[in-house]
């Protein structure tokens, strides 16, 4: 147990983190604390994203480490090869500095996703079936959320000793290069199967693929205008991650 290492994937929600963490977990030496890769869900039975997104929420990290250690012990009793724990709870991005203090030997990787694809993914997962919604207000808030979460990511990049920063799009196009960079610091990743067929949400089992075009194509012209109007006020954040506005 003293040899267990943690790798935290810092990623906002609906940014491909589930697919990425499942690829990372194809190594025989890695494990997930929770089927979704979100170990915070083990901390208390009433876990909810909204509560954990509050940066002022006090987290008992000793309790977190205790619960996670118990989970690792159970898995190692069965597998005996695990030496790297993968964790990607999205709210981790708002308290990564606390995590770094609680897990001083932990490693971090940081990712983000095209804001238009991210807004579309969240909308069609959580709002499409709702009746009488104000699309303009919803997309304005989703775009603002992308900006705020991206600002947290910039802070994490500048304050943490991260292994690498990449986008969802980069991971789709340059999977082996990014995985090799991670493997340079964490040998367990050398044994991942990059061609593995994975199951993400309700999508068919398939290899890792870029879903951005499919997501953005669902947006109405008015949705894009709303998202762009928000992003225009934060061009420095958009440009930091290499994205461009859709006019």
pLDDT at 7: 98
Q: Which of 122, 171, 170 is nearest to 146 (CA)?
A: 122
- Residue 192: pLDDT band (50, 70, 90) is very high
Whether the predicted pLDDT of 92 surpasses 70: yes
* C-alpha of 105 from chain center: 20
Whether the predicted pLDDT of 91 surpasses 90: yes
Q: What is the mean pLDDT of residues 41-50?
A: 70
Which of 111-120, 128-137, 193-202, 210-219 is the most confident on average? Answer: 111-120
Whether the predicted pLDDT of 72 surpasses 80: yes
Q: Are 147 and 235 in contact (CB under 8 A)?
A: no
Q: How many CA atoms lie within 13 A of 171 on its CB side?
A: 32
Each residue of 115-164: pLDDT tens digit? 999 999 999 887 766 567 889 999 999 999 999 999 999 999 999 999 99
Whether the predicted pLDDT of 5 surpasses 70: yes
Q: Which of 213, 219, 13 is nearest to 135 (CA)?
A: 219
- Residue 46: pLDDT band (50, 70, 90) is low
- Domain spans, the chain: 5-240
Distances (CA, A) of 142 to 13, 96, 148, 163, 211: 11, 22, 10, 28, 18
Domain 5-240 has CATH 3.40.50.800: no
Whether the predicted pLDDT of 101 surpasses 80: yes
Query: What does the mean pLDDT of the chain come to?
Result: 91
Beta bridge partners of 164: 109
84 phi, psi to nearest 5 deg? -135, 120
Q: What is the mean pLDDT of residues 54-70?
A: 91
Whether the predicted pLDDT of 3 surpasses 60: yes
Give the pTM.
0.92
15: left (phi over 0), alpha (psi -120 to 50) or beta: alpha
Q: Which residue has the higher pLDDT, 197 or 72?
A: 72
pLDDT at 48: 63
Whether the predicted pLDDT of 173 surpasses 90: yes
In this prediction, what percent of the chain has a pLDDT beyond 90?
Answer: 76
pLDDT at 133: 83
């Amino acid at each position: 147990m003293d040899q267990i290492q943690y790798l935290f994937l810092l990623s906002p929600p609906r940014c491909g983190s589930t697919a990425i963490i499942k690829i990372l977990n194809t190594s025989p030496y890695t494990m997930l604390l929770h089927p979704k890769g979100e170990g915070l869900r083990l901390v208390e039975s009433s876990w909810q994203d909204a509560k954990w997104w509050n940066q002022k929420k006090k987290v008992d990290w000793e309790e977190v480490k205790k619960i996670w250690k118990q989970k690792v012990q159970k898995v190692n009793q069965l597998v005996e090869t695990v030496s790297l724990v993968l964790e990607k709870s999205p709210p981790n991005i708002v308290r990564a500095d606390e995590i770094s203090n609680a897990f001083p030997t932990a490693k971090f990787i940081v990712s983000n996703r095209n804001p238009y694809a991210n807004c579309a993914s969240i909308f069609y997962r959580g709002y499409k079936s709702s009746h009488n919604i104000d699309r303009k207000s919803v997309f304005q808030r989703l775009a603002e959320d992308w900006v705020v979460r991206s600002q947290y990511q910039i802070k994490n990049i500048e304050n943490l000793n991260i292994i690498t920063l990449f986008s969802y799009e980069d991971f789709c196009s340059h999977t082996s290069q990014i995985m090799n960079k991670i493997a340079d610091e964490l040998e367990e990743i050398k044994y991942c199967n990059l061609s593995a067929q994975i199951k993400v949400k309700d999508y068919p089992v398939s290899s890792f693929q870029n879903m951005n075009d499919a997501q953005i194509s669902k947006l109405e012209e008015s949705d894009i205008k709303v998202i762009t109007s928000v992003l225009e006020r934060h061009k420095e954040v958009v440009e930091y991650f290499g994205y461009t506005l859709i006019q």
